[in-house]
């Protein structure tokens, strides 16, 4: 962790633990990913797999998964968890804007606003072209988008309570302090705290920037990359998480 003092050191890597704190508790979308996997088969390509929130769930329900993420620490954590569970998950460090995978893979998914972390339109276009290359004709790409965060006024925070995780005697929490609307996106400021077994408090600030992109814009970009547009899906909001619109694209050529 960065800038959180020197009295104690959290026993786990910062990227993996904070990914778990802020993402692992989200489950509202899992039934939808399972449904898509049942309909289209596997292996499923999990784009931005993180520590395996979706990949491990799909594997537990009988669908093999190839998970890719640009963060080696997250991929290592997923590989370790899959190995410990005997799950059929292959984890690989890769930039989803420049994949080098053997295919074809019938279904690719980008859960939890991964597509809004690609640095704008050029990054999304590169991702679409990259994923198209590993899908067969008729293969499906499903991309989750945060339901419109332009409706969130500056200074409002979501969710109202911090995400909390206890591990090995440490208690981790991450609380969103503000959503700042910026040109082309939204910046979410979070206060991360870790309390050691001895009660020592470590704190840091983190900012996550989401690109602003609508479902229509993403569908148009998909069409330009050789995809046809299928009906959208949706994930409802919960007390702790905003909802999502899921753009569904089919490789047409």
Which tens digits make up the pLDDT trace of 52-66?
A: 999 999 999 999 999
Strands 89-93 and 107-110: unpaired
Whether residue 4 is contained in a domain is answered as no
Whether residue 8 is contained in a domain is answered as no
Q: Which domain holds residue 181?
A: 151-210
Q: Which neighbouring-strand residues pair with 251? A: 227
For 186: left if phi > 0, alpha if psi spans -120 to 50, otherwise beta; the answer is beta
What is the pLDDT, as a whole number, of residue 199? 95
Q: Are 210 and 120 in contact (CB under 8 A)?
A: no
What is the pLDDT, as a whole number, of residue 63? 97
Q: Are residues 217 and 97 in the same domain?
A: yes
Number of domains, the chain: 2
What is the pLDDT, as a whole number, of residue 85? 96
Dihedral (CA of 219, 220, 223, 229) sign: positive
Q: Are residues 130 and 35 in the same domain?
A: yes
Q: Are residues 88 and 106 in the same domain?
A: yes
What is the pLDDT, as a whole number, of residue 176? 87
What is the pLDDT, as a whole number, of residue 241? 79
What is the pLDDT, as a whole number, of residue 103? 76
| Average pLDDT, 10 consecutive residues per value, the chain (253 residues) | 38 80 94 97 96 98 97 97 97 96 92 94 97 96 77 51 91 90 87 94 92 95 98 89 92 92
What is the pLDDT, as a whole number, of residue 240? 74
Q: Are residues 181 and 226 in the same domain?
A: no
- Name the one residue in this structure whose structure tokens are 């591990």: 167
Three-state DSSP state, 134: coil
Whether residue 241 is contained in a domain is answered as yes
What is the pLDDT, as a whole number, of residue 150? 44
- Among 88, 87, 78, 110, smallest CA distance to 43 is for 88
Whether residue 221 is contained in a domain is answered as yes
Q: Compute φ and ψ for 107, nearest 5 degrees.
A: -145, 130
- Among 132, 131, 152, smallest CA distance to 237 is for 152
Q: Are 237 and 245 in contact (CB under 8 A)?
A: no
Pairwise CA distance, residues 170 & 198, whole Å: 9
pTM to 2 decimal places: 0.90
């Amino acid at each position: 962790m960065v800038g959180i003092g020197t009295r104690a050191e959290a026993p786990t890597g910062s990227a993996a633990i904070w990914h778990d704190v802020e993402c692992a508790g989200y489950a509202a979308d899992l039934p939808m990913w399972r449904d898509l996997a049942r309909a289209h088969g596997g292996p499923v390509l999990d784009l931005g797999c993180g520590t395996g929130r979706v990949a491990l769930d799909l594997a537990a329900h009988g669908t093999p998964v190839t998970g890719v993420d640009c963060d080696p620490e997250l991929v290592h954590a997923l590989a370790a968890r899959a190995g410990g569970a005997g799950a059929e998950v292959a984890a690989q460090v890769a930039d989803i804007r420049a994949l080098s995978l053997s295919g074809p893979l019938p279904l690719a998914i980008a859960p939890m606003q991964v597509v809004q972390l690609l640095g704008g339109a050029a990054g999304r276009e590169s991702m679409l072209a990259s994923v198209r290359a590993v899908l067969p004709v008729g293969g499906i790409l499903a991309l989750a988008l945060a339901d419109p965060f332009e409706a969130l006024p500056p200074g409002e925070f979501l969710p109202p309570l911090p995400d909390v995780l206890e591990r090995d005697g440490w208690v981790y929490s991450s609380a969103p302090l503000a959503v700042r609307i910026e040109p082309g996106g939204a910046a979410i400021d979070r206060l991360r705290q870790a309390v050691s077994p001895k009660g020592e408090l470590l704190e840091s600030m983190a900012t996550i920037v989401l690109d602003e992109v609508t479902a229509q814009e993403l569908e148009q970009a998909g069409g330009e990359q050789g995809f046809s547009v299928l009906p959208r899906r949706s994930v409802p909001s919960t007390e702790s998480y905003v909802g999502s619109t899921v753009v569904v694209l089919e490789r047409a050529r």
